[in-house]
Amino acid sequence: MTVETITDSKTIPQKSSPANSRGLHVITWGCQMNVYDSARMTDVLAPLGYQPVTSPEQAEMVILNTCHIRERAAEKVFSELGRLRKISEERVSAGLKRSIIAVAGCVAQAEGEEILARAPYVDIVLGPQTYHRLPEMVARAARAGGAVIDTDFPVEMKFDFLPEASAPQVEGNLTAFLTIQEGCDKFCSFCVVPYTRGAETSRSLPSVLNEARRMVESGVREITLLGQNVNAYHGDDGEGGTADLPRLAAALAALPGLERIRYMTSHPRDMDQALIDAHRDNPALMPFLHLPVQSGSDRILKAMNRGHTSDEYRALIARLREACPDLALSSDFIVGHPGETEEDFEATMQLVRDIGFAQAFSFKYSPRPGTPAAGQPFQVDEAIKDVRLQRLQALLREQQDAFNADMVGRTLPVLFTGRGRKPGQITGRSPYLQPVHVEGSDELIGQTVPVVITQRLTNSLAGTLLRERVCA
C-alpha cells in the first residue's frame, strides 16, 4: 500500500535563488513518494534555469504536489490554489512576472479536469507518471498562455526519462528515500491508488543500483526503498530477466558503505518466502517492517478485497518472526469500513493484541469517489468511527510505549545523523526508526555506534555510548 507518514506541507529544498535564475517553489503534501517526486521535478526543471526558492512570493513557478489519500483532499487543494493565485497577482502588482502554477500528484491525476474548470488560472496539471514531460509542459504553458493537462499513464517509464537525481532526498545526507516501484493492481475497496498511480511498474535493477551508488558516494548510509507495493518489485535486471526485492536488497547490501536498507509499503500477499528469508540472511535489512493489515475481521478483509484472512496474516508474522526474532512491526488500520460491525471491530482489536505492534497508523474510513467501498451500503456512522478510532489508538499507543520502554537496558546500533537540540548532544536512529539522543561528539555523526538505552522519552529514546569511538 501506499505510504504511511502522511506529512504536512513541506517545502524543498530551502535555498535562496542565485542571480539570473528563475525561482521554483515546490509544496509537497502526502507520502514519502511525493517528497521523492518533488525532488525529481526540481531536478527536471533545473536545466530550464529553475532554482528552488523558499517562498511562493519569490517564485516564477509554483508546483503544488498533492495527495489524495485523505479526506477533503480536493478542497484543501482549491484553498491552497486560491492563496497561490493571490500571491501571483501581488507579484504582478509589484512589477514581477506572474507565477506559473502547476498542480501535480494524485489529486491532479484524479481530478485534473475539475481543477482546470474550477481554477482556470492553473497553468499545468500533471499526474505522477508524467513528471519527465514537465519541461515540455512548462514551455507549452509559457508559449500558449493556456492550460496544459497531462495525466496519462504513458507507456514509457518516467524513470527512464528523468535526469539523474542531483542530490538524494536525505536527512543530513545520511539517510535517503529511493522510489523503486509505483502503482498498484490490487484494487482494495477503499483505495484510490490504483486509479491515481496506475498499474504496478518497477524500475530496472541497474537504474536503481546506479542511483543507490550515487547516494552512497555522497555519504548516504541508510536507504529506504519506496513503492506503493514495494514488495511486488520485479525490475528488469538488465540481463534478460527480472529481479525481485530480495535480489535487489542483496545487490544493495553489497555496495560498500551502505549499512541499512528499509522498504515500504508492503502488502501481505507479496511477502513471499524469499523475502522472509532475506530478513534472516541479509543483515543490512533492518528488522522493522511496515506491513499494513487494515482490519482483523475476515468479513471486512474480504469486503476490502485484501486477499487474505486475519489468520493468514498471523501465520505470516509468525514466519517472519521465526526468520528474524528481532523483527518489529508497524501497520495501517482503517476503522469504519462500510459494513463494519462492533464484532468486526473487536476482531481488529484482538489481532492487534495478538501481534503487538511497535508502531501503527490508524484512520477512520473516508469514502473516495470512484472506489467500490464509497458506493457500498451500510456506511458506518461518523460518531461510531470516532469511538472505534479512539479505542484502537489507545491500544496501539500502549503497545508503542511498551515497545519503546522495552528498549531501556538494551544496546542498539544507532546511526548518528546530526546534532541534538542541546549542546554536546547528538542524535540518530535505531534499527526501529526511534530517534535516539546521547551525549557525544560531532565526529560520530555518520557512524553507527552501539548505544545503551537508558530512558524512554515521549517519542524518542535517550542513551549512552557504549564506547566513544568506533575503530575503523
Interacting residues with ligand 5AD (CB under 6 A): 1-2, 4, 69, 190-191, 292, 294, 332, 334, 363, 365-366, 368
Give the burial class of 88: count Cβ atoms within 10 A of its Cβ; 0-12 exposed, 13-18 middle, 19 or more buried. Answer: buried
Residue number, 192 or 212, with CB nearest to ligand SF4: 192
The residue assigned the cell 558516494 is: 217
Residues 47-66 that bind ligand SF4 (CB under 6 A): none
Out of ligand 5AD, ligand SF4, none, what residue 368 binds, judged by CB under 5 to 8 A for its kind, is ligand 5AD
Look at residues 171, 257, 172, 162 and name the one whose alpha carbon lies nearest to residue 208: 162
Nearest distance from residue 403's CB to ligand 5AD, in Å?
A: 20
First to last CA, the chain: 40
Answer whether the bond into residue 448 is a cis peptide, omega within 30°: no
Out of ligand SF4, ligand 5AD, none, what residue 293 binds, judged by CB under 5 to 8 A for its kind, is none
Amino acid at 320: L
Q: What character string, x for contact with ligand SF4 (CB under 6 A) and - otherwise, covers 246-285? A: ---------------------x------------------
Contacts of residue 78, defined as CB under 8 A and 6 or more positions apart, other chains included, come to 115, 118, 119
Nearest distance from residue 361's CB to ligand 5AD, in Å?
A: 6
The residue assigned the cell 530550464 is: 48
Residue number, 262 or 267, with CB nearest to ligand SF4: 267
Measured from the Cβ of residue 241, the count of other Cβ atoms closer than 10 Å reads 10
Out of ligand 5AD, ligand SF4, none, what residue 229 binds, judged by CB under 5 to 8 A for its kind, is ligand SF4
* 3-state SS class at 51: strand
Is 324 annotated for ligand binding? no
Nearest distance from residue 373's CB to ligand 5AD, in Å?
A: 7
Nearest distance from residue 143's CB to ligand SF4, in Å?
A: 37
* 3-state SS class at 186: coil
Residues 101-130 that bind ligand SF4 (CB under 6 A): none
Residue number, 202 or 229, with CB nearest to ligand SF4: 229
Residues 337-376 that bind ligand SF4 (CB under 6 A): none
Strands (E), 67-174: 100-104, 124-126, 148-150, 169-171
Whole-angstrom distance, CA of residue 335 vs CA of residue 333? 7
Can you read off the three cell numbers belonging to residue 233? 518489485
| Eight-class DSSP state of 160 | H
Out of ligand SF4, ligand 5AD, none, what residue 88 binds, judged by CB under 5 to 8 A for its kind, is none
Residues 164-193 that bind ligand SF4 (CB under 6 A): 184, 186-188, 191, 193
User: Which residue minimizes CB distance to ligand SF4?
Assistant: 1
Are 170 and 176 in contact by the 8 Å Cβ rule? The answer is: yes
Nearest distance from residue 48's CB to ligand 5AD, in Å?
A: 33
| Eight-class DSSP state of 55 | S
Radius of gyration of the chain (CA): 23
Nearest distance from residue 31's CB to ligand 5AD, in Å?
A: 7
Contacts of residue 389, defined as CB under 8 A and 6 or more positions apart, other chains included, come to 335, 336, 362, 363, 364
Out of ligand SF4, ligand 5AD, none, what residue 186 binds, judged by CB under 5 to 8 A for its kind, is ligand SF4
Is 188 annotated for ligand binding? yes
Q: Is 68 in the site for ligand SF4 (CB under 6 A)?
A: no
Q: Answer positive or negative: Cα dihedral of 433, 435, 438, 441.
A: positive
Nearest distance from residue 465's CB to ligand SF4, in Å?
A: 40
Residue number, 123 or 340, with CB nearest to ligand 5AD: 340
Identify the residue among 30, 127, 128, 194 touching ligand SF4 (CB under 6 A).
194
Look at residues 22, 211, 54 and name the one whose alpha carbon lies nearest to residue 135: 22
Identify the residue among 51, 129, 229, 448 touching ligand SF4 (CB under 6 A).
229
Whole-angstrom distance, CA of residue 187 vs CA of residue 194? 6
Give contact residues for ligand SF4 (rule: CB under 6 A). 1-2, 184, 186-188, 191, 193-194, 228-229, 267
Residues of the binding site for [4Fe-4S] cluster: 31, 67, 106, 184, 188, 191
